[in-house]
């Protein structure tokens, strides 16, 4: 069962449920549910990755892997080996940080990626550009 502890009714319900489970001697798992990223931020990330891929001649997967390898907070080490974080596991703050890093890195390398508001203004043109390169992405 999920409870929104910002709501009084849910706090009471959660406490009642916990009390019942305590009386039963149940084994429970309690965890915080993090806010996932929005569909809009996911779409915008793929726009950024697609524009990078088109500009530098990569497929979408190649561009994503390349950028993740270059981004310091997207690489982690385990047992002496390096691995890449999965964007699908990132929350909205993490994905925003990665998008900003991609935009800054691209700009340093000669590619301006429009901000989210600029993308919204030119969405038809940018989406058509991306769609015209779909066979290469």
Q: How far apart are the first and last CA of the chain?
A: 41
Quick one: 77 and 117 in the same domain?
Answer: yes
Is residue 110 located within the same domain as residue 43? yes
pLDDT at 36: 64
* Nearest by Cα to 44 from 108, 105, 92: 92
Q: 120 and 94 in one domain?
A: yes
Do 49 and 7 share a domain, yes or no?
no
Sign of CA dihedral 10, 88, 92, 78: positive
Is residue 63 within 8 A of residue 53, CB to CB? The reply is yes
| Number of domains composing the chain | 2
**70 is a domain residue:** yes
Residues 28, 48: one domain?
no
21 within some domain: yes
Residue 55 and residue 12 share a domain: no
Q: What is the pLDDT of residue 2?
A: 82
Do 26 and 71 reside in the same domain of the chain? no
- The confidence score (pLDDT) of residue 30 equals 85
- Asked if 51 and 67 sit in the same domain, the reply is yes
* Residue 137 within a domain: no
pLDDT at residue 111 tops 70:
yes
pLDDT in tens, 32-73: 766 667 778 999 999 999 999 999 999 999 999 999 999 999
Write out the residue range of the structural domain in which residue 13 sits. 1-33
60 lies in the same domain as 8: no
Contacts within 8 Å (CB) and 24+ apart, 38-41: 38/92, 40/116, 41/92, 41/95, 41/96, 41/99
State whether 48 and 88 are in the same domain.
Answer: yes
Q: d(Cα 15, Cα 21) in Å, to the nearest integer? A: 10
- Stretch 70-90: mean pLDDT: 95
Do 99 and 55 have their domain in common? yes
For the chain, what is the mean pLDDT?
93
């Amino acid at each position: 069962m999920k409870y929104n502890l910002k709501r009084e009714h849910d706090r009471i319900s959660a406490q009642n449920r916990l009390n019942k489970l305590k009386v039963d001697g149940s084994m429970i798992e309690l965890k915080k549910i993090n806010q996932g990223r929005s569909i809009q931020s996911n779409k915008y990330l793929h726009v950024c990755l697609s524009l990078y891929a088109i500009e530098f001649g990569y497929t979408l997967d190649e561009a994503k892997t390349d950028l993740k390898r270059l981004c310091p907070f997207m690489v982690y080490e385990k047992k002496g080996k390096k691995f890449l974080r999965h964007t699908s596991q990132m929350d909205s703050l993490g994905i925003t940080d990665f998008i900003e890093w991609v935009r800054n890195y691209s700009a340093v390398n000669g590619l301006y990626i429009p901000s989210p508001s600029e993308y919204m203004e030119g969405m038809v043109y940018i989406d058509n550009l991306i769609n015209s390169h779909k066979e290469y992405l």
